[in-house]
Amino acid sequence: MTDIKLDIADGVAVVTIDRPPVNALTMALYGQIADLFDSFANSSDVHCVVLAAAGSKAFCAGLDLHEFLAASADDDDERATIVRRCFAAVRHCAVPVVAVVNGPALGAGCVLASVADICLASPNARFSLPEINVGRCGGTAHLGRHLPQGVLRHMVFTGLPLGVEDAYRFGLVQEIVAAESLHERAMELAKLIAGKAPLGLRLGKQSMNGAEFLPVEEGYALEQTFSTRLMHTADAREATRAVVEKRAPVWSGQ
């Protein structure tokens, strides 16, 4: 995977998109991202993922336009399937995902940031859906989970970016961090998350993803079924004992 770097330590996997100059996504890279994020479901030493990008020109400039120009419209359904699988793999990754946006996130790059569980961004970040400028559309189904419709439609119909302050105000970004401190803050947060009960993280994420678009009462009922499943685990009992005994928990993953 020459366009992706993977480092795992202390329960945190750092996935870095590294395709100079602007980390544009090819079909092959979409597939590699999907395969990697799917693989974390079977990784007992990964409890949180940091999704980052190399360089400072862009977090991700979206679809590689050179590859797009060479593609046939007859191939578009197949290509769209690959793209959807990539975004689904990140959004439904078995463990929490923290996106680290260190520059512009355009088109597919904007969507990629939006499907993470938490998004940290530097003051240099901005988010845009400029597909209208290249005769395309898309991405609003994912961005609509975070942004009001008026804001989203303004982005889509004008192609203009959303600044990081507005992205924070509307909830797409959870923290704005100075560029020189962004990686350190992301690792601090990821290690905090990775220190929680492994099964709690995985089932908790499944619970939230499953309940997100359900009516409130149905969603809460679903959450309770996951909570009951956790109650039967050894780690749930260990968590309670650790609080009562005022000590750090020791997780067994069972």
* Domain ranges for the chain: 4-194, 198-244
For 13, 190, 238, the CA distances from 10, given in Å and listed in that order, are 8, 10, 20
Asked whether the whole model's pTM tops 0.85, one would answer yes
Q: Does the pLDDT of residue 1 top 70, yes or no?
A: no
Q: Is 172 helix (H, G, I), strand (E, B) or coil?
A: coil
DSSP H helical segments within 11-120, as ranges? 27-39, 65-70, 76-91, 108-114
Q: Does the pLDDT of residue 223 top 90, yes or no?
A: yes
| pLDDT tens digits along 162-196 | 999 999 999 999 999 999 999 999 999 999 999 99
Q: Where are the beta strands (DSSP E) in 90-161?
A: 97-101, 104-106, 118-121, 126-128
Architecture of domain 4-194: Alpha-Beta Complex (3.90)
Q: What is the dihedral of CA 230, 235, 237, 241, to 10 degrees?
A: -140
Query: Class of the 198-244 domain?
Result: mainly alpha
Residue 174 has a pLDDT of 98
Token pair belonging to 97: 């995902």
